[in-house]
Structures are given as C-alpha cells and as structure tokens.
Structure 1
Amino acid sequence: MTRRWLRAQTRQGDVLRAGFAAVREEQGVPASFPDDVLAEAQAVAAAPQPPQPPEGDQRRDATGIPFVTIDPAGSTDLDQAVWIERRGSGYRVHYAIADVASFVRPGGAIDREAHARGVTFYSPDLRTSLHPPVLSEGAASLLPGVDRAAVLWRIDLDSAGLPVEVDVERALVRSRAKLAYAEVQKGLDTGEADESLVLLREVGRLRQGLEVERGGIDVRVPDQEIEADGPGFRLAMRAPHPVEGWNAQISLLTGMSAARIMLDAGVGIVRTMPPPPPDDYERLRRTAEGLGIDWPRDVSYAELVRHLDPRPPAHAAFLNLVTILLRSAGYTVVDREADDDAPDVLRHAAVAAPYAHVTAPLRRLVDRYGAECCLAVAAGREVPQWVLDGLPALPDEMRLADQRARALDRACVDLVEAVILEQHVGEEYQAVVVDERREYDVVQLHWPAVRTHVAGGGLGLGRRVRLRLASVDTSRRQVRFVPAEPDAATG
C-alpha cells in the first residue's frame, strides 16, 4: 500500500512524548490502575485457568477448532478468533470472543474501574487499557497455544452469505496462530493461505455484497496514523488491506446476530444511529465536487465510497468525511416495551440493520453486557441481575468514554501536525472547504491529511482553495492557515 509520511525530526521525539503525556492528563485519561484493581486482577489471573463460568453456565470444549486471531501487528489484547468451514453449499462461521465476564466480578474493583474508563484509550506512545494488562494482554486474551475462556458464536450461512442459524455459548478454545493483517493479505494474494482464510475472503465478499443491497455504508476509511519512527514519530495515511474489510464483516455479522437475539427477547443494548439528514449528504456532494470526484445523482453515498481508491489524496480526504454522517451514533437499551418497528430508534443507519457491540469486550465495556444478554437468551435462562441493573447507565457511560477517546485522538494528531508543520511555515497547500460555520470554514488539505479551520469563512462549501501556513503554536497544538494571495479560489 502506498504511504505518505509527515516525519518528525529526531529531536522532536521527546517534545511529542511530553506532549502526549500532557494531552492524556488534560483529557482525564488515567495514568495507572488503582492498587485494589491491580491486586484483584493479579488474584484472578493467578487462579486456575480457565475460570469457572458465571451464572452456572457450562463451558463446551472447543479446543479442537483451529482458531486463529487476525489483528494489527504487535497486538496482544486479542478479543476475537475465527475459523470458517464449508457446510454443504454454505458456510459455518466459528467466532470466539474473549469471555471477559468470567474474569470480572460484578461490583468488584475491576468492574468499577472498567465503568469509569469505558474503553481502551490509544495514544501514539501508550495504550491505556480498559482492564489491567495481566488480564487484557494475559489471562483473558486469546493468545495462541493456550486454552482460553471464550464466548463462542456459531453462525451458519447459506450459499449467499445469509444467516440460517445462530447459536452462542461459553466454551474453551485454543488459538493456533496469532496473525497480522499484512501477512494474511500476502498469503491470500499469493495463494498460500489455508482454506479457512480463503473462506474468510469468500464470506467477507458475500457479506460486503449484502451490505450494498441493504444500503449499508462502508466505513473503511484511510487511517491517519501516528507511528513510532526510531526516537521520533511520523504521521501517515494508511489504506486498509482488503482482508481488514472481510474480517470486519465477520464482526458485523456477529453484531447483527446479537442485536436480533436481544431485540427478539426484548432485553439488551444495541448500537444505534438515525439516518443522516439530507443536508449532510448535500454538504458531502458539494465537497466531492470541490475535490474533483464524480458523484452522479442516481448513485448513493454507500455505492460511491465503495469505488473510491483511498490512496489518492482527494479520495482519502473525502472518505475521512464519513464522520459527518456517523456523528449521531450511540447506544439504546432494549426492553420489552420498545417498538421493534421504529428504525430510527433501534437500527443503525450505517449498517442498515439492527446492530450491537459484542466482539471487543477487552477494549469496550458495553460488549460484556451485550454478550451476557445473548448467552442468557440462548441458554433459556434469565439475564443476570447485574446486567439488568447496569444497562440503564451504559448509554451515557459509553457516550462519555467515546467522547474522551475521540478528544484524545484528535489532540494527539493536532500535536503531531503542529510539531511537524512548524518547519513549513510560509508554504502553500491545496485544500477543499468541507464545512461552513459562522466564524470560520473547515478545510481538508489534499496533502498532508490535515483538517483545520480558516478564520473568517466565506470561502464557499466545496470550493478548492490555496492556503498558506501562516503560523504554528506547538504549545497550544494549533496551526493557522490563511488564504494564499492574491486569490485563494482554484476552482
């Protein structure tokens, strides 16, 4: 994949590390775990493994299934393991998810801290885990070569990739290998991948086709990444490997299955998003025009983005604007009085179906609750009382956690942009106006992948403009662009 770098000089590495620490403190990201949380986690991890399942559940021995995990290189908090086999003319998807609830005592120190954090926080030099690393990267992680407690989903699909039967239960699993996206993609491209990975591609493509039919939005966008570069850092745009999309389809399939279980039972929590207002699509259309992207009126946004190449700067800039459509996503508690026919309340517009988060419990609090609801319904027993007691507060807890995570990410990117661009003051850049506010315009540079403000406004939504980097304030993580003279408009 083509990468373009913004690279910090070696001497700037220490400045950035100090800045990242300051950002974490500013955003209220915990610097460490309290002593009682660490002590409880150590005790849980030191106990015989795997732990006894809660609520009297039985744990099936599924260690004979040759699972593998597929994650970014270097990951150790492994939530999911997958294995796919043919089943007649269709497929059987085995999807193992870390059984976090078996390690966390409701109301205990680990549980209270997880509710306070909500999610794992990622900054360029540090991962601030939802759970102590002795669990998230150790006893609860689906590491290869060891038996692990899991929530095991079995989803049978027909030849078109549609679910025909879904089951979920607690199990004991053993991953055979810890794989990275790049090596899986290479194996598939060269024909050296094993059959389960070939079927992952096959099922992934079928599910992507069904997503198009549903009108779902592919949110696979180029990532703006901050990467370690020796003693310094570099800022890059990375186009995802195709296997990342196929793997994500298995998670989406499981989340859609989980939502259906909870909605049918009238209990649980689902990820929801109302349809974006027409004005948002019109804003994107004008931006596409400014970027030189052809968007016929009879083509939907969902269809358009599937055909864009995320490597060209103009396409990358446009794909990153999907956040305009996704900004109203949240969580909704399901109860027996809820109206399942109200799409704006219980459906996720980008998925174009009911959807729930259940596949990342090591990194996201809400997933533990959704999984427990599904396990109870599948076993024909009552949902645990601690789950029912905790559900009402979850939407607000997750909203605050997500806001903090986004603010942390944005502040770190702002810092890197400021530190790296400091040496480029006075240079000119091509950009497009992507939003209009009362006192400023929001612009997206073609390259580097910087999204920033131009004071004064009035440049014109969707217009291509030429900007000059006027000043940089690294202490405030701010860069200031102004229209280049004599005429900023370029189209």
Structure 2
Amino acid sequence: MERRGRFTIAEPLFERGPRVALTRGSINLGPGEIGLVDFGPRGARALRPLGSAERARDVVAALLWDRGVDRGFPPALESEAADAATAAREAPLARRELAQMATFTVDPATARDFDDAVSARTEGDGIRLWVHIADVAAHVRLGGGLDSEALRRGTSTYVPGAVEPMLPAALSDAACSLAPGVDRLAVTAEIVLGGDGEPRSSGFYRSRIRSDARLAYDQLDEFFDGRTAPPPGVAEPLDLARRAAAALAARRPVGSLEIESFEPEFTFDSDGNVTGARAVPQTEAHKLIEHLMILTNERVAEVLVQRRIPTLYRVHEQPEPERIAYLVEQLADLGVPTPPVPERMSPTQAGELVGEISRAVAREAARRGHGRDAYTSLVLRSLKQAYYSERNIGHAGLGSSAYVHFTSPIRRYPDLVAHRALLSAIGAGEDEPDPGAVRDSGWRSSEREREATAIERDADRVCASFLLTRELFESGWKRRFEGEISGVIGAGAFVRFGGELGDVYEGLLPVRVMRDDRFDLNQTETALVGRRSGRALRRGDPIDVRVDSVDAPRGRVDLVPAEGGENG
C-alpha cells in the first residue's frame, strides 16, 4: 500500500499488475502494509491486514492467502478434532501392546507431526523391523467433517517458519503425532529381512506404541560419524535399522533413480525477519528413513494388489524413449559421460537407462565439483511426473512394480486412503474403500500436491530474496558472488549462488545486460552461445556475478556479470 493525497493505492504483491485506489469502507492500511483486497462491483476494498511487505514471515503468510490456502480451521472442526482424540483412545479396537519395545523417531529438528517410528531386533542372520505409522484412520472417520476437510486440503503445506496442516493441531501435533514418552495409536508393519536385505515375511496390525527417543537428522549423522553417542535405550535398534537400510539400498533395482537434492532451511528472528539459511543435504540419516519407508510402502502395496482392495497407488510411468535419447544428447553436449543408448529403446529400457544416467550424473558432478543442480534438473525434466491413481502401473523412478504412500498419513490424504484399504484387507475395523471415491480422491490429491509444491518453492524464493537483501545491505551491493549456471532460457542464464550458505540464492543473468555480444540458446538447450565471440554460458559452468536488483516479495533476483567487487 502507499498513500497519494487522500487515497490509499494498492499494488499487487506477487504479480505485476495495475494499481487501484481503495474505496470507502476499506480498513485503514499504512504505506508498506499488506492487505487482503476484494475486487467487487463497487471497486477494490481492503478487508484484512496481513502485516508488512518488509517482513519475510508476513509476505509468506500473504502468499498462502494469495494461493487459496486456508489458514486455520473452523471452530466446528477444531471441536471435532478434540473429540476424535479422546474417542480413538477409547475405541474397542484390537491392538498389540508394543509400548515396552525400544522405539525411536527421526525427523527434521523443527517437526512436530511425527508420522513414523522404528523398532528393530536381530532375527537369526537377519533383522526384524517394526515400522510404526500413526493410526490416523482411528481418529478421522470416513465421510466426517475432518475427513472431508483433509480430502479438500489433500496435503499439509510447509513453508519456511510455518506449516498449514491437513488436520487440526489437536491431531497433527498431538493425538496422532508419535511423540516420545506417551502412548500413541499406530499401524505397525512387522517385516523380517534376510542378511542380504531380502524381505522374508511381513505382517500388519494395529498397535499401541511409546517412542523412547525423538531424534533429529543432524543428531543421527553425529551418531554415525562418532561425534556423539545415541541414547542407550535405542542404540541397538538404531544400529540394526542402519544395517537394514544399507542392505536395502544395495538391493535397489538398476532402474531406480539416484537424485541428490539440497533443501533450503531458513531461520527467523522473533519479528519474522529471515536471519540465516543453509542448504540441507540428503545425508545417511535421511536415506536410512527413506529406505525403511520405501520398504514399508512396497510391502503394503503388495498386499493391496494381491487382495484387490481399492486404494490409491503412487504411480510413475516409464519415460518416453525419445526424451531419454534427447537427455543423453544434452549431457553429451555438456561433456558428461553416459551409458550407451540402444538403437531401439523400449520404455522399460528407457527407465533402466535413466536410472544409470542419474548415477553417472552424480559421479560426474562430484568429480567436477560443480554442476549437480544443472545436470540433475535435466534428468528430472526428461521424466514424467508421478501422481496418484486407483490403477497400479508401477513406479518407474523407484523400480517398484507396486507402490503406495502409506507412511505419512498425518500430512497426506493418499496415505490415509492406503491405511483404510490395508486395515480393511486385514480385518482390522475399517470398511473396504469405495472405488469411485478412491478415484476422485486421487485426482484431487495429485492436484493439491502440485499446488503445494509450487507454493513451497515460491516461499523458499521469497525468503532467500529477503535474506539476500539483508546480506547485501550489510556487505555492500558491489559484492562479487561465485556461482554456477543452473539453467538457461532464451532470455538469460539462471545462476545459483550463496557462498558459505550453500548456494541458497538463485537469480537470472539476462542476456540483455551482456552488451558486448548477442547470445542465442543452442539446439540442445544446454547453453547460451555468443554470436560474435562463440562464448558459451553452459549449464553447470562456474560463473561470477553481482546482484543488480532484488524484488523480495516476488522472489526475483536480477544479476549482472561480475566486474571487480569483493568476493562472496
């Protein structure tokens, strides 16, 4: 908002658009404040203040409003959630009592919704695993108000410093969450692995558990590195789980993808300003939990396929051979070694080949010391998008013949669908899902997942832009940053940079600012090539830049080539 004489002028916060004068009846908003504006037949009217455009947390909250994400829950649903928390504990469902079994959870340090917990013991030459998943179906009645709202939301939306949950806090942060030291209701997958990681048997049942330790990923990595010791009560099951995960990793199919990613993690002060960030890598701790959850999801899917119970599968179609052939051409243009391509390639062969390519890309990026984001993005662009469907067509990215999402029912509706399906299959107190309702929930859940992912990505960009502005005000706008080209389009090169923060920033280096030459996108879309000089700006190449401008609320950063200035 800004004042012009007697008028308050509103400008769209997230997209460029015309400014409008607010009509009478608007709430009073000062310059730089954010407001929720309604455009009615009588003009624009500000309905609600949303904070300051200079504060990252307020802008992220406004982004959620802008994208249609509801904040909070109506009182009726809050009341239903509180009642459900009590009713589920008192329901006369058969459960195995596992509260005395050593159990631990592993989650991000800031998490409050603990979906999964793990126990483990030796079993001959193998390992017996218990993967406990929050029994959300015991709390959320099919067709009730909470269920309808969870379906509508589809997923929890996570943005820096906040989460808009799929379920009210009375369930998501309390009754359903597998917090340490308290009895919680769970659905347990009991799986026996051989010494080579081959699943020998599995069983499923409702249970009551009590977590002994709430561990964070960083803590787990410290245990594995020998820097600290794990809590005595969970040291043995943790070591067994680690061994099991390593055996499972070694058994992954040849066509499964190996994609390494880094997630930005931001810190805020008490006023809601971004004060720091780091790029969080996928460490052994993350992969331990990932492999155990993949195992559980696959075993649940096997049961549901065998018994023909309607459910939502997580499906990922095999890639088109033409796309993978083009990917090989792109990587060859960048000098990245790839496996040989068959003359006539089937979709199955294409899927196996792209799995090999993903590992080759990771090795080459590690050898060069740069290019990880640029090369990985090309691999991902060559693939089809995973989605939810009532039809099982397998999961190409994991090399799984059948796969469901089962292990995160607090935050994903498809997992709740899979819980109800499994519990009906084993006669544990749930009705078999209706096929039509399952089909409709798959479409809705896929759509909401895409929307939430876009919001989370944009919120990361907003916070990174606010942090960059803060950093430049402290160090000076002439600062020189070392970065690398993460992507190219006709208008310019995207550059990821950040120095000690781990390249959490990204901006556009427009071709129009490089006045000594004219640059065109090459045929394989891997580089911008100068017409006069032949100079190439290639994906993955190191480059030094300076920041020209930052539009923090829109998460946009414009760059210029570095000419002098201090290194960042």
Q: TM-score if structure 1 supplies the norm length?
A: 0.83
Deviations 1:446-474 (A, max 9, x none): 55344555667724333363566443323
After TM superposition, give the deviation of residue 297 of structure 1 in Å.
4.7
Partners of 2:505 and 2:242 lie apart in 1 by 33
Counting matched residue pairs gives 456
Specify every segment of 5 or more residues in structure 1 that has no aligned partner in the other structure, as ranges. Answer: 1-11, 335-344, 486-491
Q: Which residue of 2 aligns with 1:253?
A: 295
1:403 is the counterpart of 2:450: yes
Partners of 1:431 and 1:462 lie apart in 2 by 13
Q: Give the secondary-structure state (helix, strand or coil) at the position aligned to 2:247.
A: helix
Which AA in structure 2 matches 1:329?
A
Select 1:210's aligned residue among 234, 251, 265. Answer: 251
Please tell me whether the aligned partners of residues 425 and 432 of structure 2 are also in contact (alpha carbons under 8 angstroms): no
1:270 is the counterpart of 2:317: no
Which AA in structure 1 matches 2:210?
R
Q: Which residue of 2 aligns with 1:489?
A: none
Partners of 2:486 and 2:83 lie apart in 1 by 55
Q: Which residue of 2 aligns with 1:52?
A: 91
Select 1:350's aligned residue among 397, 416, 420. Answer: 397
Q: Which residue of 1 aligns with 2:76?
A: 36
Please tell me whether the aligned partners of residues 167 and 378 of structure 1 are also in contact (alpha carbons under 8 angstroms): no
Partners of 2:56 and 2:325 lie apart in 1 by 38
Deviations 1:417-447 (A, max 9, x none): 33344447675764436355xx545634355
Select 1:197's aligned residue among 227, 233, 238. Answer: 238
After TM superposition, give the deviation of residue 119 of structure 1 in Å.
0.7
Please tell me whether the aligned partners of residues 291 and 432 of structure 1 are also in contact (alpha carbons under 8 angstroms): no
Please tell me whether the aligned partners of residues 53 and 553 of structure 2 are also in contact (alpha carbons under 8 angstroms): no
Please tell me whether the aligned partners of residues 104 and 215 of structure 2 are also in contact (alpha carbons under 8 angstroms): yes
Partners of 2:361 and 2:304 lie apart in 1 by 31
Deviations 1:200-232 (A, max 9, x none): 111111111111x43211334111233335653
After TM superposition, give the deviation of residue 23 of structure 1 in Å.
0.7
After TM superposition, give the deviation of residue 115 of structure 1 in Å.
1.1
After TM superposition, give the deviation of residue 387 of structure 1 in Å.
5.0
After TM superposition, give the deviation of residue 157 of structure 1 in Å.
1.3
Which AA in structure 1 matches 2:286?
E
Q: For 1:39-188, list aligned pairs within 5 A.
A: 39-45=79-85, 47=86, 50-52=89-91, 57-188=93-224
Partners of 2:324 and 2:54 lie apart in 1 by 42
Structure of larger gyration radius: 2
Select 1:222's aligned residue among 253, 256, 262. Answer: 262
1:365 is the counterpart of 2:365: no
After TM superposition, give the deviation of residue 318 of structure 1 in Å.
3.8
Deviations 1:384-440 (A, max 9, x none): 25554530112211122112211211221221233344447675764436355xx54
Partners of 1:380 and 1:37 lie apart in 2 by 26
Please tell me whether the aligned partners of residues 97 and 152 of structure 1 are also in contact (alpha carbons under 8 angstroms): yes
Please tell me whether the aligned partners of residues 117 and 401 of structure 1 are also in contact (alpha carbons under 8 angstroms): yes
Q: Give the secondary-structure state (helix, strand or coil) at the position aligned to 1:379.
A: coil
Q: Give the secondary-structure state (helix, strand or coil) at the position aligned to 1:173.
A: strand
Partners of 1:363 and 1:34 lie apart in 2 by 18
Select 1:458's aligned residue among 520, 526, 546. Answer: 520
1:303 is the counterpart of 2:342: no
Which AA in structure 2 matches 1:236?
R
Please tell me whether the aligned partners of residues 425 and 469 of structure 1 are also in contact (alpha carbons under 8 angstroms): yes
Structure 1 pair 450/281, CA: closer, same or farther in 2 (3 Å)?
Answer: farther
After TM superposition, give the deviation of residue 131 of structure 1 in Å.
0.6
Which AA in structure 2 matches 1:409?
E
Partners of 2:242 and 2:505 lie apart in 1 by 33
Q: Determine which structure has the larger helix proportion and give its number.
A: 1
Deviation larger for 217-226 or 86-95: 217-226
Deviations 1:354-385 (A, max 9, x none): 2110000001111011122122223399x725
Partners of 2:242 and 2:296 lie apart in 1 by 16
After TM superposition, give the deviation of residue 35 of structure 1 in Å.
1.2
Please tell me whether the aligned partners of residues 117 and 132 of structure 2 are also in contact (alpha carbons under 8 angstroms): yes
Structure 1 pair 421/70, CA: closer, same or farther in 2 (3 Å)?
Answer: closer
After TM superposition, give the deviation of residue 276 of structure 1 in Å.
2.6
After TM superposition, give the deviation of residue 135 of structure 1 in Å.
0.8
Q: Which residue of 2 aligns with 1:22?
A: 62
Q: TM-score if structure 2 supplies the norm length?
A: 0.72
After TM superposition, give the deviation of residue 288 of structure 1 in Å.
5.4
Partners of 1:88 and 1:36 lie apart in 2 by 52
Partners of 1:356 and 1:200 lie apart in 2 by 22
Q: Give the secondary-structure state (helix, strand or coil) at the position aligned to 1:122.
A: strand
What root-mean-square deviation, in Å, do the aligned CA atoms of Structure 1 and Structure 2 show? 3.2
Which AA in structure 2 matches 1:195?
E
Please tell me whether the aligned partners of residues 193 and 199 of structure 2 are also in contact (alpha carbons under 8 angstroms): yes
Deviations 1:167-206 (A, max 9, x none): 1111111111111122222223328441211111111111
Deviations 1:44-98 (A, max 9, x none): 22x2662426xxx521222232111111113221100101111111111101000
Structure 1 pair 260/305, CA: closer, same or farther in 2 (3 Å)?
Answer: farther
Q: Give the secondary-structure state (helix, strand or coil) at the position aligned to 1:138.
A: helix
After TM superposition, give the deviation of residue 479 of structure 1 in Å.
2.2
Structure 1 pair 226/293, CA: closer, same or farther in 2 (3 Å)?
Answer: farther
Structure 1 pair 137/204, CA: closer, same or farther in 2 (3 Å)?
Answer: same
Select 2:556's aligned residue among 470, 474, 478. Answer: 478
Structure 1 pair 50/483, CA: closer, same or farther in 2 (3 Å)?
Answer: same
Deviation larger for 35-44 or 311-320: 311-320
Select 1:324's aligned residue among 367, 370, 381. Answer: 381
Structure 1 pair 65/446, CA: closer, same or farther in 2 (3 Å)?
Answer: same
Greater relative contact order (Cα < 8 A, sep 6+)? 1
Q: Give the secondary-structure state (helix, strand or coil) at the position aligned to 1:271.
A: strand
Please tell me whether the aligned partners of residues 187 and 207 of structure 2 are also in contact (alpha carbons under 8 angstroms): yes
